Structure formats: structure tokens, C-alpha cells
Structure 1
Amino acid sequence: MFSEQLKEKVSVLLVDDKQRNLDVLRAILSGLDYHLVEATSGSEALACLQHNEFAVVLLDVMMPAMDGFECAKLIRATRNCTHTPIIFVSAVADEMDFIYKGYNSGAVDYIVKPFNPAVLKAKVAIFADLFRTKKILIDQLHEARALCHKLEVEKAHGNEEKKVLLDMVHDFAASFEERLKFNEAITPALSIARSDVFTSTAT
């Protein structure tokens, strides 16, 4: 069951105002275990995030109307998107302040064009695997809580033999909760760590 869940397709959001850039990203990531969704503006990306859950967002920096920095901040402020990983894709390579601004606005990684397709695949795969693992932990937590409720009902009806088993299931549920918290903490931790690196480098 778990091995099948680890192979399930996850959604990846591609955001760029130029269709040719979206075509490049799609060509690199197509054929893998991803459902690729395209957005040609920041507002369109935010609309997609309102109705779908994404393992990672590949976000262009230089876009008209709403640039990538502003879009990233709004994504971070959107309900259920607080921990959605954002990878900036930009042609600007020599501006340290520019890159730092990307991390400071909520990105967990930064890719400079032209980039190595293998590197992009590897970065996306990391966050896709984290997303799948999170889903598995959530499912396990729900099952453990459901079993806890069932055992508590049986115990309330005088079945004291269920007490030991109930304590064990409570421990399992607590373990799943801690692992889920750790999984959710990884994404913001990556962003903070990378931001600190650029801060120390710039000073």
C-alpha cells in the first residue's frame, strides 16, 4: 500500500508569463509521476492554489503586473499554502540581493536560467517525495485516531482488555503527529537555511 502511495502522481504548478518557458519546463518534467499545471500570471497561479494542492511551485521571477516575489508572498499568506515549496526560476544570476530577495519572500530554492534539466528534475523530485510522505503520514494518523475512537467506545462499554491496546494506539498516533510536524517543518527550514547562507555571504 505504502509503496503504491509513494508512486502516486502529485501536482506541480508551473508559473511563467512566456509560453515557451512553460513548454521547456513541461518537456523536462513530462513523463514523470507529476500532474503538470500551467499558469501564465501570478493571479492565475493564486487561483490554481485556491482549488488544488501542489507538491511544489516553479515560479518565474520577472512577470508583468505581479512579479514572482509578490506572488510568493501572497502564496505564503494563502490558507493551506503556508508550507507549499516554491522554487524561483530566473535569468538573473549575478545579483546577490536579487537572489536573497527570492529566499526572503518565501522560496526554498532558486534556479538560474539556463539550467541543467537533471538538476531541476532532482529538485522537484525531493519535494514530490516529501509531499507523498506527508500524505501517507496524514492517512496513518487518521487511521490511528479512528482506531483510538473505536477502542475508547469498547472500553467505555466495560471491555478493559482494550486498555493496553488503546494506550499503544495512542502512542502510535502521537508518533505520527510528531513525524508530520517534522515533515512540515522541513520546507521552511530549508528556506531559512539558504537565506542565512546568502546573508552571511553578502556581509
Structure 2
Amino acid sequence: MDNKLSILVVDGHEQNLRAMQDMLADTELQVLTAASGPQALELLLVHEVALALLDVQMPEMDGYRLAELMRGAERTRLVPIIFLTEGAPQPQCSFRGYEAGAVDFLYKPVDPRVLRGKIEVFVDLYRQRRQLAERIAAYERLARTNALMLAALSHDIREPLTVLMLNAEMLIRRSELPSLKQAGARMKAATTMLRRQVDHLVNLAQLPETELRPRLARGDLSRLTQQRLHASANEALMWAPSSLASAGDTEGEFDAGLVAEAIDHLLLQAATHAGDRPIRVEVDGTTRRSLLLRIGFDGVLAEPAALYLFGPGSTVEGIAAPQVGPGLQGVERIARAHGGSLIGSSPQGHGTRFELMLPRGWAELG
């Protein structure tokens, strides 16, 4: 059996079946023919069809009854049906055909060009529906695979983090050297944040896109950013003092919990790659419709780090939705859930910068 799409033609007259086969001989369609309703049902048990052309007047079972049986079966309930009949147009016949589930009702003789055009439309729709079903099935398989890999990966990450946490605590408690105590405290804080980010990313990855719905409430982005900067887990990550500058009205409507997690993750990435360079944080509320959070530092990312954070594509300054790498996907998803965006760049001579944009919400209407 080849991979041609099939259509079913049911007609009580053999010459009509041959004429339909001849008319569609130059197409890539496989034309299945049946001289009665029972023969058509037997074919439908074996073949999947993109369209059914049914003659109304047939022996044993008329086209209306065949259409009702097709609509009542799970396998064929979505197959488009076009009725063909002889005689003068009669409104009651057309109404009955549409009530039986037909998508069209044509009277013989039918213009071959018109019929071929209708067939092409429904065959194209069938192809699109089948492609969509295949993509959904592939996405579901990928989602199941990703869930398994994510569970295994998170376990593999948590185990060494536990070991690091125990060793950091041992340095803090048993060392008499201040430098070692400080190193232990830094290690403990970084391990705590990494563990929290792993939990957060695992939770985000397990949620479908449509289920990440921020709980919007009035808040001050500058105040929230200051709180996260002074959180002990974040302060311990900084090799050099960080700075915070605010401008304009920094109040807006956002999910403080999700945005706090986004800020923490951006600070973690900045601290990881800034080294002993100071980190600059800015909250810009000078525009009417949006709030901007910028986190940056001097220095250009190495190629592996840039690939991890920004992905393989090149980023363009000012583009609202550039591609991001796996290191920023969680933050970018939070931004998109708010209707905002995340931009990252690390060009030569300009340093590295992350820019999170959030719509202001209620305030933009004031």
C-alpha cells in the first residue's frame, strides 16, 4: 500500500465511479469506490480517508443513512462529506444533507473544475490536520523524555550540592582562619541559591506554557530589587560591592514572587561571570508603559558562557524577543508570562548586560 491520501466515492452507478476515477487520475489521490453503503462501510473499516463523496440515491442504504453512520463512529466522525445527487435543486434535500453532517451539497451534472477545487481544499485541510496531530504527538513524546531527563539531572545536581553544603558548613564551624570561614560562607550561600534555582527551574519546566500565570499585584520594582540585592544568599555571591540606581516611577503591576526569582537568577548569572568586577543594577521607570531592570558588569563573556546564556544566534540591541540560551530560559519565560521580554548582550567594548522589561500595567493607564 502506498502513502497516497485516499478519498471515498460512493455511487450506485458504475459509470459515475469510473468517471470520478478518470477525473482524478492525474492527482496524487487514491480513489476508493463503493457501489453501496455497506461496501463503503467495509472500506472505511480498513482505510483512512480525507474526504467522502456520497450519492444520495443508492440501493440498500441511501447517502443520508450512510452519513449518519459515519458521524456516529469515532473513526469516521471527522471525515468531511460532500453529497452528490441528480435532479433539480430542492431546498429540503440540501437541508437534510446538512443535518446529516455534510459540508457541501452538489447537484449533477457537476462542473469537474468546481469539484476538483473543492476536493483540493478538503484534502489540504486533512493534510494540515494530520501534520498538526503528528507534531502534537512528537511534542508529547519529547515532553515525556524531557521530564525523565530533568528528573535524573536534578537528582545528579542535588547530590553534589549536598556534599558542598556539608563541606561549607564544616569550614565555617571548624576553621579558625577568617579567610576560610568567609570562603565557607560564600560556598554555603552559593550552594543554597543554586539548589533553589534548580528547584525553581524544575518546577517551571514541568508546567505547560499556558499554566504559568502571574498573580499581578501593585508593587515597586526598585524596592523589590533592593530587597533581593540585600538578601544574604545574594550578598554572599558578590566578590565586589554592587550598586543600585533608580530613576522615575518604579511602581507597576507584577507577580512579586516570580519577578524576585527572575532577579535572583540574573544576579546569580552576573555574579558567576563578573568575577571580582562590580555589578551595576538599574531600575528605570522613566517610560510610561514599562519598567526596565538592567543588570550589568564590565567584561565580555567567553564563548561557552555566551552560548549558554544567549543561545547560538546573535542578539541585536533593542530587539524585544531575541533567542536566549538554556541559562536564561527560566527568566525569559517569566518575562513573557508578564507580557514583557528579556534582552542579553555582551559585545566587545560595552560589557555584559541583561535587561528585563515588564509592562507597567495599571500605572500606564493613569
Decide: shared fold, TM above 0.5.
yes
Q: Out of 18, 25, 29, which is 1:23 matched to? A: 18
Partner residue, 1:157: 152
**Cα offset, 1:163, TM superposition:** 4.3
- 1:145 matched residue in structure 2: 140
Contact 2:86 2:107 in 1 (8 A): yes
Task: Evaluate the alpha carbon distance shift between residue 164 and residue 93 of structure 1 in structure 2; reply closer, same or farther with a 3 A threshold.
Answer: farther
Q: Does 1:53 align with 2:48?
A: yes
Aligned residues of 1:76 and 1:83 also touching (Cα < 8 A): yes
Cα separation, 2, equivalents of 1:55 and 1:33: 13
If each structure's strand is expressed as a fraction of its own residues, which one has the higher value? Answer: 2
TM-score, structure 1 normalization: 0.75
Letter in 1 for 2:133: I
Deviations along 1:92-146, whole A, 9 cap, x unmatched? 3331101111111111111110111000001111110011111111111111111
Identity percentage over the alignment? 32
Pairwise CA distance, 1:166: 3.9
Q: Is the 1:15–1:41 Cα contact (8 Å) retained in structure 2? A: yes
Residue 128 (structure 2) aligns with: 133
Cα gap change, 1:163 to 1:9, in 2 (>3 Å):
farther
1:96 counterpart residue number: 91
Match in the other structure for 1:77:
72
The equivalent residue for 1:65 is 60
Are the aligned partners of 2:89 and 2:107 in contact in 1 as well (CA < 8 Å)? no
Are the aligned partners of 2:52 and 2:80 in contact in 1 as well (CA < 8 Å)? yes
Match of 2:112 in 1: 117
Q: Is the 8 A contact 1:55 1:85 kept in 2?
A: yes
Q: Runs ≥4 in structure 1, deviation > 2 angstroms?
A: 158-168
Unaligned runs of 5+ in 1: 1-7, 173-203
Indicate the larger mover: 74-83 or 154-163: 154-163
Give the distance between the partners of 1:126 and 1:144, measured in 2 at CA: 27
Unaligned stretches of 5+ residues in structure 2: 155-197, 211-366
Which whole-Å CA distance do the structure 2 matches of 1:164 and 1:30 have between them?
A: 55
Higher relative contact order (CA 8 A, sep 6+): 1
| 1:30-41 paired onto structure 2 within 5 Å | 30-41=25-36
1:105 to 1:150, Cα distance in 2 relative to 1, 3 A: same
**Counterpart in the other structure of 2:102:** 107
In 2, Cα distance between equivalents of 1:171 and 1:35 = 40
Structure 1 residues 52 and 171: CA distance shift in structure 2, 3 A = farther
Structure 2 SS opposite 1:114: coil
Number of aligned residue pairs: 164
The residue number in structure 2 matching 1:87 is 82
8 Å CA contact retained: 1:148, 1:166: no
TM-score (norm 2): 0.42
